[in-house]
Amino acid sequence: MTTKVFVDGQEGTTGLKIFEYLSERRDVEVLRIEEARRKDVEERRRLINASDVTFLCLPDVASRESVSLVNADNHRTVVIDASTAFRTHDDWAYGLPELMPAQRERLRTAKRIAVPGCHASAFLLAMKPLVAGGLVPADFAAHAYSITGYSGGGKKMIADYEAGGNPKLDSPRPYALGLAHKHLPEMAVRSGLKHAPVFTPIVGNFLKGLAVTTYFSPNQLSRTARPQDVQALFAEYYANEPFVRVLPFNADGNLDDGFFDVQACNDTNRVELFVFGNDERFVTVARLDNLGKGASGAAIQCMNLAIGVDEAAGLSR
């Protein structure tokens, strides 16, 4: 039996990557919309309601419109949204199976799933175990930054970088310096923190790959703990997770001649977690492919859970 899948917003970066994953699947039938009818509401309505799974790879407003096209008597179609529109809504399952023990089961039965943002995924996978374990208090003032490839900026940014000839693009480019990045709400709500982190992302001159670094001082913690204890907490929390690897504390093998390779998880659905530092201060780092586990890979993982197949089907670890 095949699963009928429609991608609404098939021309964007996330949609194209989802098509790439689906093209390798023999258990999936892709419902395609004609190019000339991409904005035809009635044709989109028909395809959404004909599908078993619809992926929304659209801006927030358009995603909300697409959700409204699901017929009232349609209790079959699973909608998986890649925008920020529903990520903090309680009636939508948050598409990060590893977030906490009950999350995976909710995704198996959910009809509405919101895929996390790439920066948020990395931040949460490093922060949630510390909050859930009582090591970090809910009123913790988190400070973090992310360095990411330019693919996260969409087609125009990709074209600008790949055209070459602009020396401004050769150096890292911090952005969202108004400190109101669109991923902040989910970072707070889904981590259990009372306040969103102070967070700054940075675009580098490479296609994909992402790492979020968060800063800690032991005196900010709820109880006495060394960074080695944080690494051990991660290892216990994610012991049975197929896509999460917890690396040894401060090991030289975590680095490339002393440097951290942001792109080391590219072309996988893997997340790698690190703790670096000493007894006076330490950082956590979460590394992933922003187009994989940070977007399209996460969407496919959620689909696998929702349709009852192997969670890792079509995904590389």
- Which residues are catalytically annotated? 118
Angle between helices 154-163 and 13-22 (to 10 degrees): 90
Whether residue 87 contacts residue 298, with contact meaning beta carbons closer than 8 Å, is answered with no
By C-alpha distance, which of 28, 36, 33 is closest to 5?
A: 28
Strand partners, 6: 31, 54
**Strand 210-216, strand 143-148: pairing:** antiparallel
> Taking every pair of C-alpha atoms in the chain, what is the biggest distance, in angstroms?
62
d(CA 276, CA 236): 18
Count of beta carbons in the 10 Å neighbourhood of residue 182: 14
